[in-house]
């Protein structure tokens, strides 16, 4: 039996607890929400439950596609047992449709469909506001090795290739998303979460945003959008 022990980390949206097994930790998802490097704060009631359950469901499906993840077991609606990884300090963003910072950077309107997926990397560093970097920065700062970045790139596109048609069946455009990877037993595995906090989901018909942009941009019905995404994914 795995038992929860002391809290080892508290982030913006999650708490992480050690367990009696040194290779496992427990993630506890909160309803707290932040945006714009923590400058905007709030609560999205029920978000922790949605993000926990949706992430676990997606990780289960990705495992079946041969993508290794940190997911071990859902403990309750907000808490999950996951493998303890050393997080690679690189945020990996995959984009299919122009939105958010890419729209500003390239001067293209949101909604432009990209001819091929765009892969971006950001330095995972809150004090710096997660600046965009490329592989030269990653190798120069020794954030990851060449072999690790090859594997991360391969896995990121595999995740996208699986998720685009998966969400399409739910009448959702997967606009973009952010992944984080970790090192476990010498291997790169997918960690963190896959949720409306980390993905942009647009309804194909109405173009309604069903993700954290409702909170970032004060679009209203934030809770309803998170609940709708869980409903579409889990069929509940
Ligand atoms: N994203 C994230 N965490 C971050 C930054 C971005 O999960 O710290 C996700 C975001 O939800 C979106 C994608 O990554 O699905 C691309 O975000 P973008 O670079 O456009 O930044 P934003 O406009 O969200 O600041």
pLDDT digits (tens, 9 = 90+) for 126-140: 999 999 999 999 999
Split at pLDDT 50, 70, 90, the class of 33 is: very high
Which residues belong to CATH 3.30.200.20 in the chain? 4-83
Tell me the residue length of the chain. 236
**CATH 3.50.90.10 is right for the domain spanning 4-83:** no
Distance 183 CA to ligand 1 centre (A): 23
Per-residue pLDDT at 190: 99
CA dihedral 60, 161, 207, 95 (to 10 degrees): 110
Closest Cα partner for 92 from 217, 232, 199? 199
Cβ–ligand 1 contact at 178 (below 6 Å): yes
CA of 46 to the centre of ligand 1 (A): 21
Q: How many angstroms does the Cα of residue 134 sit away from the middle of ligand 1?
A: 17
On average, the pLDDT of the chain sits at 98
Which of the 8 DSSP states describes residue 69?
B
Q: How far apart are CA 178 and CA 190, in angstroms?
A: 11
Atom of ligand 1 nearest to the CA of 103: 20
Cα–Cα distance measured from residue 144 to residue 232, given in angstroms and rounded to the nearest whole number? 36
Place of tokens 């913006």: 12
92 C-beta closer than 6 A to ligand 1 = no
* φ and ψ at residue 162, rounded to 5 degrees: -80, -45
Q: How far is the CA of 210 from the centre of ligand 1 (A)?
A: 14
User: CB of 163 closer than 6 A to ligand 1?
Assistant: no
Atom of ligand 1 nearest to the CA of 177: 15
**Cα–Cα dist 161/5, whole Å:** 38
Q: Which CATH number fits domain 86-234: 3.20.20.70, 3.30.413.10, 3.30.470.20, 3.20.20.80?
A: 3.30.470.20
pLDDT for the residue 1: 87
Q: Is 92 helix (H, G, I), strand (E, B) or coil?
A: strand
Which ranges in the chain are annotated with CATH 3.30.470.20?
86-234
* 101 Cα–ligand 1 center, Å: 8
* DSSP structural state of residue 211: S
pLDDT tens profile 166-206:
999 999 999 999 999 999 999 999 999 999 999 999 999 99
Q: What is the pLDDT of residues 57-100, one digit of tens each?
A: 999 999 999 999 999 999 999 999 999 999 999 999 999 999 99
When pLDDT is cut at 50, 70 and 90, the band that residue 236 belongs to is confident
pTM: 0.97
């Amino acid at each position: 039996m795995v038992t929860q022990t002391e809290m080892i980390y508290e982030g913006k949206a999650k708490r992480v607890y050690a367990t009696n097994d040194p290779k496992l930790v427990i993630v506890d998802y909160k309803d707290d929400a932040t945006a714009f490097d923590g400058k905007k704060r709030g609560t999205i009631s029920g978000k922790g439950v949605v993000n926990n359950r949706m992430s676990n469901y997606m990780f289960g499906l990705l495992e079946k596609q041969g993508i290794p993840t940190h997911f071990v077991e859902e403990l309750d609606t907000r808490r999950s047992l996951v493998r303890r990884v050393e997080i690679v300090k690189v945020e990996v963003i995959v984009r299919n449709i122009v939105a958010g910072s890419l729209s500003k950077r390239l001067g293209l309107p949101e909604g432009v469909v990209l001819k091929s997926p765009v892969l971006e990397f950001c330095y995972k560093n809150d004090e710096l506001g997660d600046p965009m970097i490329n592989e030269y920065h990653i190798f120069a700062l020794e954030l990851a090795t060449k072999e690790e970045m090859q594997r991360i790139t391969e896995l990121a596109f595999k995740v996208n290739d699986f998720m685009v048609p998966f969400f399409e069946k739910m009448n959702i455009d997967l606009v973009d998303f952010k992944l984080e990877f970790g090192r476990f037993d010498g291997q790169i595995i997918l960690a963190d979460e896959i949720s409306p906090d980390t993905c942009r989901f647009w309804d194909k018909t109405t173009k309604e945003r069903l993700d954290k942009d409702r909170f970032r941009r004060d679009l209203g019905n934030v809770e309803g959008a998170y609940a709708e995404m869980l409903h579409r994914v889990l069929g509940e």
